[in-house]
Chains A and B, each alone.
Chain A
Amino acid sequence: MACNGTGGGGCESGGGCYNDKNNQSPTQNNNKSTSDCNNNNNRNTCLKCKSSEATIFTGGEGGGRFCAECFRSNLYGKFKLAVTSNAMISPVDKVLVAFSGGASSRVALQFVSEMQHKAQKNFDATANRDRSLPVFGVGVAFIDESEVHPIASGDLDKAIEDIKGIVLNLAPPTKELHVVPIRSIYSTKTNDGKEMLQNLINTVTDATGKEDLLTHLRMMSLQKIAIENGYTKLVLGSCTSRIACHVLAATVKGQGYSLAADIQYADARWEVPVVLPLRDCLMQEINILCNLDRLKIVEVFNDSQAGINGLISSFVKVLQEENPARECTIVRTAGKLTPFPFNRIPEANVDDADLASQRRQKRFNLKPIESLPPEAFCPICNSPMSCYKNSQPLDNIFGATCCSSCQYQILPEEPSSMDQFYSFLPESIISRAKNGNEKWIREKIQDCLLSDGEDEV
């Protein structure tokens, strides 16, 4: 994977960047920017504290210049603001951090762990009083994709050891690590999960479709871990740069309608709500922090993107080089699209005194989203679909319940392979096709449901 050390340390190759063998310090990375500002008197002072020497130069709007301490607190501040103003984590939560080994999810893990550590210290300090708040729980999930991304078993073992080491070395309290193979999306009754999974992936001929299907399966896998272990939130490390790519990818794949669902801070269309606390952090900043704090990155599966997704990554990379604010602008544009009613943490989950007070300050973020709920969700990608169905009549019933993007790039064209494809699907996709997004339907009619005892068919 190409690691681009030029241009002020900006590296877009998601996660691969840290693997610079020579562990360059961020200062070295930014020699060029430093010399560029030579004629500026204050070139050496941090923009934030205005006293320490600036050693970190970020692109961004206006071109940031920070000392290590301010850089760190600035980035953590963005994370914390996202968490508090969107009620992402409440004291009673048990959050699962999805960790791929890459830089973004590494920083997400670091920040969540720091936040938990601070909450723990507060708790310890006030433990005798009644008012003390419980400390939210944190777990870590690593999805083993070796069954679809062939990798030498020695390498995989080494990577898992590294991941265990990372989790073990986080600040206390201790965090449980779940290493789960992606075939676990098949029920335990299916003992040929591996074969089913490989068959499923191999039925998809489009390179982009294959990659996207795997992304959807990974999410299902994470959801399953979260549900089975009682987690109440799923934290993803998606940063601004990654989200900017998704905005363009969704646009190019004809998913303009559902795009707004994917790019918000919170996404409660899943059984376990998904939150994106790094939504406002750039890949560049994340890479700098990993270098600065020597956060270990584990590159397990080759994450170089194929097809349309790869094309989009390189396009965004060029745009970002041309204008360091571009990724932010892209995400800001998409942020102006109307979100869906499920793009917020349900009220019941944020019923906590401490967060309620914070919420009052940031009320604007939590006002109910007044927009019509979608009629249906695609059973493969879980995208909301607008009420008007696609006009092409499909003889296959399952195919007809999928969004047009999945129909094109994931479903096989031939009706005969379609039957095969269907037979390889995990139960959860089939049930989503049959029953819709049950979680969302339940939530919609919740206030009209009678208690279990009165339930009659």
Chain B
Amino acid sequence: MEGGGGGEKRTMKMCCICNQRRPALKRPKTLQQICRECFYEVFEEEIHRVIIDNNLFKRGERIAIGASGGKDSTVLAYVMSELNRRHNYGLDLFLLSVDEGITGYRDDSLETVKRNEIQYGLPLKVVSYKDLYGWTMDEIVKMIGLKNNCTFCGVFRRQALDRGAALLKVDKLVTGHNADDIAETVLLNILRGDIARLSRCTSIITGEDGPIPRCKPFKYTYEKEIVMYAYFKKLDYFSTECIYSPNAYRGFAREFIKDLERMRPRAILDIIKSGEDFRIATSTKMPEQGTCQRCGYISSQKWCKACVLLEGLNRGLPKLGIGRTRGVNSEPKKDDSQIGAKNIQSKPCGSLDF
């Protein structure tokens, strides 16, 4: 690449990092042609730098890795355990999975996580909707139909992860959100007018005021590189999408990000940078957090969202707490463009939380 003369003499193109091996791939983030070994190295070292530069962990901490069996969390578990060993972070790592009770999807993906438990030697904890809420996702869908189940997915899963993390007594929860996810969230918050979420959606650590902080070591890692890494490393992951969010379904925003990436790979990082740099007055804060009067989970309202949804399910009024319907907290929704917002988003069932 450098020096016009040198390149012409060499007929065989070499990896542009080590200049010793044949390139095996075009790195999605930079379009450099590099060999497999160099790819592993830059991929892992970038994540290591992110962890170090942002002080994500302290020695001796217990860390839960949100594990869905999908590619992001599988690669995260693998890389976290590698880096913990290689750079001697001194962390106690755990896998934490949520069993929503979705026949043919979650039971299969849980098998993957159980294999990961053995492959990476990380203890696994599974928390189930049935145990926590008394309802499986299948039962919820039977009750409410396919229409609003993503509300349940998102709310229940988020809380289930926190409860599982509490049971594991961990200090932090890491999730597999990648750069594409974060860029998409930035765009969605702009499209919906949600300035409060826009101001914090690029934070690498969130919920520091809550019981268990969450962090995203893959904040700058491209989805394509994660897929590539899993592919070359032959990692064992589960690739079928949730049966309640059909595969054919692609959101506008995600498609747009893919188009941008094709035209200009650095656009994903630029969107994240914009998200970090937006001038948002510090007074634009999320509503103050209290605790749910029913279950004690953090909530800005009298009852947390999960309790409102559960109350509806148990009383046979499943629409309670969904969208604009007024429920126990009887506060009208502020979010002005919830309607129609669904099909601009790509991961409707809350898999962003994983």
Contact = CB atoms under 8 A, between A and B. Distances in A.
Interface of A: 208, 247-248, 250-257, 259-260, 307-308, 311, 315, 318-319, 322-323, 325-326, 329-330, 332-334, 336-338, 371, 386, 404-405, 408
B340 A307 contact: no
A251 B271 contact: yes
B3 to A, nearest CB: 11
Contact of B274 (A254, A326, A336): A254
Nearest to A307: B263
A259 B267 CA distance: 16
Interface stretch (B97-105, B186-194, B237-245, B297-305): B186-194
Interface in B254-285: 256, 259-260, 263-264, 266-267, 269-271, 273-281, 284
Contacts of B281: 338
Interface of B: 186-187, 189-195, 198, 252, 256, 259-260, 263-264, 266-267, 269-271, 273-281, 284, 336-337, 339-340, 343-344
A254 B281 CA distance: 19
A408 B266 CA distance: 10
B279 A337 contact: yes
Contacts of B260: 252, 308, 311
Contact of B270 (A247, A252, A307, A318): A252
Contact of A386 (B192, B277, B336, B337): B277
Contacts of A332: 193
B193 A255 contact: no
Contacts of A254: 269-271, 273-274, 277
A175 to B, nearest CB: 38
Which residue, B187, B263, B281, B336, has most C-beta atoms of chain A within 10 A? B263
Contacts of A371: 279
A330 B278 contact: no
A322 B274 contact: no
B279 A329 contact: no
A325 B284 CA distance: 23
Nearest 3 CB-CB pairings of A with B: A256-B274, A254-B270, A257-B277
A315 B273 contact: no
Contacts of B275: 251, 256
9 contacts: A248-B190, A252-B260, A256-B274, A256-B278, A315-B259, A329-B337, A333-B193, A334-B190, A337-B195
Contact of A319 (B191, B274, B280): B191
A177 B17 CA distance: 58
Contacts of A330: 190-191, 193
B267 A329 contact: no
B284 A308 contact: no
A405 B273 CA distance: 11
A112 to B, nearest CB: 30
A259 B278 contact: yes
A257 B275 CA distance: 9
Contacts of B198: 333
Which residue, B187, B189, B277, has most C-beta atoms of chain A within 10 A? B277
Contact of A252 (B194, B271, B336, B340): B271
Interface of A is mostly: helix
Given A311-B259, A322-B343, A257 B278 contact: yes
Contact of B252 (A318, A405, A408): A318
Contacts of B284: 336
Nearest to B255: A315
Contact of A322 (B194, B252, B264, B278): B252
Nearest to A255: B274
B277 to A, nearest CB: 4
B193 A323 contact: no
Contacts of A326: 191, 337
Nearest to B259: A311
B191 A311 contact: no
B263 A251 contact: no
A223 to B, nearest CB: 25
A311 B344 contact: no
A338 B198 CA distance: 13
Nearest to B198: A333
A252 B267 contact: yes
Which residue, A252, A253, A319, has most C-beta atoms of chain B within 10 A? A252
Given A311-B259, A311-B263, A253 B279 contact: no
B270 A315 contact: no
Nearest to B257: A252
A338 B270 contact: no
Given A208-B264, A319-B252, 11 more contacts: A251-B190, A252-B274, A254-B277, A256-B275, A257-B277, A257-B279, A308-B260, A311-B263, A330-B193, A333-B195, A336-B284
A455 to B, nearest CB: 35
Given A248-B190, A256-B275, A336 B195 contact: yes
A61 to B, nearest CB: 9
Contacts of B279: 257, 260, 337-338, 371
A315 B252 contact: yes
B253 to A, nearest CB: 9
Contact of A333 (B190, B339, B340, B343): B190
Contact of B337 (A260, A325, A336): A325
A449 B274 CA distance: 36
A304 to B, nearest CB: 16
A280 to B, nearest CB: 15
A372 to B, nearest CB: 10
B187 A251 contact: yes
A259 B275 CA distance: 11
Given A323-B340, A329-B336, A256 B276 contact: yes
A308 B268 CA distance: 12
A259 B276 CA distance: 12
A334 B195 CA distance: 8
B192 A329 contact: yes
Contacts of A325: 337
